[in-house]
Amino acid sequence: MTSQPVERVGFFTDTSVCIGCKACEVACKEWNAIPADGLDLLGMSFDNTGQLDANSWRHVAFIEQPTSAPDGGMRWLMASDVCKHCTHAACLDVCPTGSLLRTEFDTVVVQADICNGCGYCVSACPYGVIARREGDGRVWKCTMCYDRLGADLRPACATACPTESIQFGPLDELRERAAARLEALDDPRARLYGHDPDDGVGGQGAFFLLLDEPEVYGLPPAPVATTRDLPDMWKHAGLAALTMAAAVVVSFLGRRR
């Protein structure tokens, strides 16, 4: 692995064609040998995984919405969520061991063999993606199938998706494709989420076309890298320390006189 990106790749998830089959979840678990979980229905929907965690690197949300149709009825929103592989990744900033790093594909991965389980990245992630594995203590998350990328293969989830809801490729191409899809969809409720390089995390490496507000899907409406103010904080702390040191020196010299 290297910190020098070659061509940034990512995911574009078009939720308008997601059918909730969970093929992405199964493919992800199978390829990455992730322990089984999510065998219990949650009592709220057909969603049996609930959220992204150390044992669910893909999570297909099932959202039921009542419609305004005369006969009532429901509208189903389905979306396959994943780690966003942020441009400004707070998890990278706070990791004390270098376990979290950025690959040559500009994705963010965890090297589990040097993770000390401190959990700083868990609280730093603005999306609540990263989690520690019970009985293990280390953190785990989507690697965008780094081993497959090195062999010029697509990630397992994108390969398994039967409707091409999950699309993989160069990020710039995906953004163009997403903009065209949004225009063609012509739905006033539809919007792109995480595609803007000027957002609070510098743009996501995994972004989405949604059919409602982000909050409906359990996504923060305005995510911000939790460490974005660290440089200014360190600068102010340094100036304060220098001021205190200067005051001590002046006081010491004054006593000597």
Question: What pLDDT score was predicted for residue 95?
Answer: 96
Dihedral (Cα; 57, 13, 128, 45), 10-degree rounding: -80
Contacts of 253 (CB under 8 A, 6+ apart): none
Q: Which segments are annotated as binding site?
A: 18, 21, 24, 28, 83, 86, 91, 95, 115, 118, 121, 125, 142, 145, 157, 161
Q: Are residues 247 and 178 in the same domain?
A: no
Residues 203 and 255 in one domain: no
Strand 206-210 to strand 191-193: parallel, antiparallel, or no bridges (unpaired)? antiparallel
Q: Is the dihedral angle over the CA atoms 221, 84, 110, 24 positive or is it negative?
A: positive
Same domain, 158 and 194: yes
The reply to whether 90 and 185 lie within a common domain is yes
pLDDT in tens, 118-168: 999 999 999 999 999 999 999 999 999 999 999 999 999 999 999 999 999
Q: Flag residues of the chain having pLDDT under 50.
A: 2-3, 5, 232-237, 239
Q: Do residues 149 and 203 share a domain?
A: yes
Are both 102 and 120 inside the same structural domain?
yes
Residues listed for the chain: 257
Q: What is the CA radius of gyration of the chain?
A: 22
User: Binding site for [4Fe-4S] cluster: which residues?
Assistant: 18, 21, 24, 28, 83, 86, 91, 95, 115, 118, 121, 125, 142, 145, 157, 161
Same domain for 76 and 165? yes
CATH code for the domain of 77: 3.30.70.20
Asked whether the beta carbons of 25 and 60 are under 8 A apart, the reply is yes
> pLDDT at position 233, please?
41
166-203 b/e (C-beta count within 10 Å ≥ 16 → b): bbbeebeebbeebeebbeeeeeeebebbbbeeebbbeb
Interval 112-123: pLDDT, tens: 999 999 999 999
Range of the domain at 257: 227-257
Q: How many domains does the chain have?
A: 2
Token pair belonging to 100? 């979290």
Q: DSSP letter for 219, please.
A: -
